[in-house]
Chain A
């Protein structure tokens, strides 16, 4: 689906070349790589089509989402929130925040692809996890452009066709719950989340978000608990920043104390060194706020 990253591609891009300059890669090889991603991921539009129809959206609404939104996690989040009876703006806000990461992909891509101005509004719709991963993994600008275009085109075409098939199929299936299809949405989210949980910071954010998301669910209107859970990201970053500042301050104190001791040992004016140390500490405290 648009939004799923196979573990790996973004982690180790552009490190495959051994020579000093980028090694050219045959166009056919780039196309093959891009089609592999586009087809494998594009097929999962079926799961979205089924989930969306199961959530009560019409075939037209389901297809409009895949055509116009085209970023998988946001689409799943939106239909999930609507199914839970969320207010349309709350539901859209959750989906929107999930899509914000694409702006950062666009930034990387614009430097890499150097697209001419008039093309950018068209290319923008394809700025998602998979196209970025494929483009960043290419050794040259030409290969990156081919990779981006082929991945974008094949994924967009297939994702929309399979969305339609899923939406139509769901109507034929009847009760999607009996087929276990209501588990597709959370499984998709988990598959997207898993490769992101690399360090303690990410795991702490995820754990807190689960607690808040479930804890507030019975008491806040549908869709709002997810937005509350999203606040764990800035909260964890803030806590992390504070801890790092505290570590730095402790380390700096040690250095200053060491200098004072050294000054004493060499017979320099130790009192002067102490005063300087205290002044430095005061300055640091002030600037840390």
Chain B
């Protein structure tokens, strides 16, 4: 039930912000500070999420094969690989290191 609540709240919230942009008159969201904040907010969120989902398990900090997978993804990004290749690199390297017993 909790999962359905989370899905419902997220779906409604995400839809309303999408619609808001199409409906509000230009100018309301066009203040430079608001624009800067909107651009910077995902940076903080994505950085924190990347770190947490790589280096944590069950509420504790851990270092496991996912770290190697993320490093592979980073390398793929530096090499300007397409999105699917970036994700595939992380998955393959994580599985490989885990299979070896890392």
A and B interact:
yes
Contacts from A to B (Cβ < 8 Å): 1, 4, 6-7, 40-41, 43-44, 47, 57, 61, 64-65, 68-71, 73-74, 76-78, 80, 82, 84-85, 87-89, 91-92, 94-111, 115, 120-121, 123-125, 127-128, 177-194, 196-197, 201-202, 205-210, 212-214, 217-218, 222, 225-226, 229-234, 236-237
Cβ of A212 and Cβ of B48 under 8 Å apart? yes
Given contacts A109-B22, A183-B54, A202-B43, 16 further A-B contacts (CB under 8 A): A71-B14, A85-B59, A92-B9, A102-B21, A104-B35, A124-B19, A124-B22, A183-B73, A189-B46, A193-B43, A205-B44, A214-B55, A225-B48, A226-B48, A229-B44, A230-B45
Whole-angstrom CA separation of A86 from B39 in the bound complex: 26
Cβ of A103 and Cβ of B20 under 8 Å apart? yes
Interface size on B, residues (CB 8 A): 72
Q: Taking the nearest CB of chain A, how far is it from the CB of B81, in angstroms?
A: 9
Q: How many A-B residue pairs have CB under 8 A?
A: 304
Which of A40, A107, A189 contacts B24, CB < 8 Å? A107
Cβ of B90 and Cβ of A196 under 8 Å apart? no
Which of B9, B20, B40, B61 contacts A237, CB < 8 Å? B40
Cβ of B21 and Cβ of A209 under 8 Å apart? no
Cβ of B47 and Cβ of A237 under 8 Å apart? no
Chain B residues lying within 8 Å of A102, measured Cβ to Cβ, are: 14, 17-18, 21
Whole-angstrom CA separation of A82 from B6 in the bound complex: 8
Chain A residues lying within 8 Å of B21, measured Cβ to Cβ, are: 102-110, 127
Cβ of B66 and Cβ of A213 under 8 Å apart? no
Whole-angstrom CA separation of A219 from B17 in the bound complex: 31
Given A124-B15, A187-B89, verify A217-B52 contact (CB < 8 Å): yes
Cβ of A183 and Cβ of B45 under 8 Å apart? no
Given A180-B92, A181-B91, A194-B77, verify A106-B48 contact (CB < 8 Å): no
Cβ of B61 and Cβ of A217 under 8 Å apart? yes
Q: Which residue from chain B places its CB closest to the CB of A102 in the assembled complex?
A: B18
Cβ of B40 and Cβ of A214 under 8 Å apart? no
A interface: dominant SS: helix
8 sample A-B contacts, Cβ–Cβ < 8 Å, listed by A number: A57-B3, A181-B95, A183-B66, A191-B77, A206-B43, A214-B52, A233-B37, A236-B40
Given A74-B14, A187-B89, verify A207-B47 contact (CB < 8 Å): yes
Cβ of A123 and Cβ of B14 under 8 Å apart? no
Given A98-B42, A209-B44, verify A180-B50 contact (CB < 8 Å): no
Given A178-B98, A179-B91, A217-B59, verify A186-B22 contact (CB < 8 Å): no
Cβ of A186 and Cβ of B66 under 8 Å apart? yes
Q: Taking the nearest CB of chain A, how far is it from the CB of B32, in angstroms?
A: 10
Q: Taking the nearest CB of chain B, how far is it from the CB of A191, in angstroms?
A: 5
Cβ of B50 and Cβ of A189 under 8 Å apart? yes
